[in-house]
Structure 1
Amino acid sequence: MPSLGRLHLITDTRPGRDPLGVLRAALPVARAELVVQVRVTDDATDREAYELTRAAVALCRPYGATCLVNDRLHVALAAGADGGHVGADDLPVEAARRVLGPTAVLGATARTPGTAAVAVAAGAGYLGVGPCHATDTKTGLPDPIGPAGVRAVAGAVSVPVIAIGGVTAATVPALRAAGAYGVAVVGAISGATDPARATAELIASLTC
């Protein structure tokens, strides 16, 4: 099973964004510490998701970085990704594990100790936990849980906890202190003027 990096970069495929350009900037900096999670908008076709994933996989391979696909597990399999991530409205974790197989990386979203424990028992190898802070990257999210919420989940499971939602380099130390193994970001890198520098700052905050 591929190792799990501490910095998860979720692709931003909204109009005007350049997800592959961001990956090209971030990968040489983070290398194997980067996990790329391909997430496309709801109106994107499977073909578009497949083409983006194939390109992302090709970029990740030379650096030993892991590439996952959010939600569309059939795309993950078809494009040769390392696994996938499922949220509350996606396939149940147990079903997702059957689809991907026993050795693939499988993450699941959780925000309470109870749902986290259920997801791990069903086959999740890591958990995306949040939102930790307010974010405008994705709409319809529940209230932020803060570092205290991360601590509650991390204390209930033995798999890596990846804190997500409004994460910046400045907020990483508190999340790490709360038990987060790593963090997942969108805007902190994709929205940065210098994505490579933003990546370096996040990596430094994760490893200090």
Structure 2
Amino acid sequence: MRLPHPPLLVITDRQLARRPLLSLIEEILAAGARWVMVREKDLPETELAELVKAIIERARPAGASVLVNARASVAAACEADGVHLPQGFSVAEARRIVGPARWVGVSAHNLEEALRAAEAGADYITLSPIFPPISKPDYGPPLGLGTLREVARAVPIPVIALGGITPENARACREAGAAGIAVLGSVMAAENPGGMVRAYLSAWGSSGCSGGEAEGLASDG
């Protein structure tokens, strides 16, 4: 299996967004975003499902994929493209719920966690924080590009760099072996979210990413 749409994964946080989340989603899709993770941990399951369905309705016409953070049952019920698991969640259990055709990603914070996720059958990992996080300044010491390079070389699945990723350092993440980058606060809190998406894609070295390009990028990771 290959990732749906590297290089850019946009993670939602409606509390950081400067406008209604669905309006922001429409803007970033128009700017070229093709991979969205719905990460609204405070929402009850029913409300989260309604939001996920609304985002999927907007994403599908653009050819974009939607993941749900943590709640595999919501991902399956809404026919999302997959689930992204925080550290400590069972990949096998998530796979049982969402089925073999949907993505299961895992958050990792060191080489050991990355290897464990790959061995458990995850399709990809996010590795964080690479740099001091924009939305979580007290998250912990950054791993740096050296650790990103080490993990990308060691695991057989794509590694998505997360934490403090900016248009200025995005290309360095690619050169260190990342298959893509994940962003949250820099897009959610931006006055011009669409402009930020375009800046990330340009910095990575792509004005967009078709399915064929996505496969090539994923294989690089």
For normalisation by structure 2, the TM-score amounts to 0.86
Partner of 1:12: 13
CA deviations over 1:125-160 (Å, ceiling 9, x no partner): 111011111125247633210111211110111211
Partner of 1:70: 69
Partner of 1:151: 149
Taking the aligned partners of 2:186 and 2:17, their CA distance within structure 1 comes to 16
Could you tell me which amino acid in structure 2 is paired with residue 46 of structure 1? E
Which of 131, 134, 138 pairs up with 1:133? 131
- Higher RCO (CA-CA < 8 Å; seq separation 6+): 2
Runs of 4+ in 1 over 3 A off after TM superposition: none
Which of 73, 91, 94 pairs up with 1:93? 91
Could you tell me which amino acid in structure 1 is paired with residue 189 of structure 2? G
User: What's the % identity of the aligned pairs?
Assistant: 35
Give the Å deviation of 1:182.
0.7
1:111–1:149 CA contact under 8 A, matched in 2: no
Unmatched runs of 5 consecutive residues or more in structure 2? 207-221
Unmatched runs of 5 consecutive residues or more in structure 1? none
The answer to whether structure 1 residue 81 and structure 2 residue 42 are counterparts is no
After alignment, is 62-71 or 105-114 more displaced? 105-114
Taking the aligned partners of 1:53 and 1:44, their CA distance within structure 2 comes to 11
The answer to whether structure 1 residue 169 and structure 2 residue 167 are counterparts is yes
Partner of 2:38: 38
Give 3-state SS (helix, strand or coil) of 1:131's partner.
coil
Taking the aligned partners of 2:29 and 2:134, their CA distance within structure 1 comes to 25
Taking the aligned partners of 1:138 and 1:46, their CA distance within structure 2 comes to 25
Partner of 2:119: 121
- Pick closer, same or farther for the CA change 1:194–1:99 going to 2, 3 Å: same
Could you tell me which amino acid in structure 2 is paired with residue 7 of structure 1? L
Taking the aligned partners of 1:83 and 1:198, their CA distance within structure 2 comes to 25
Give the Å deviation of 1:111.
2.2
Aligned residues: 204
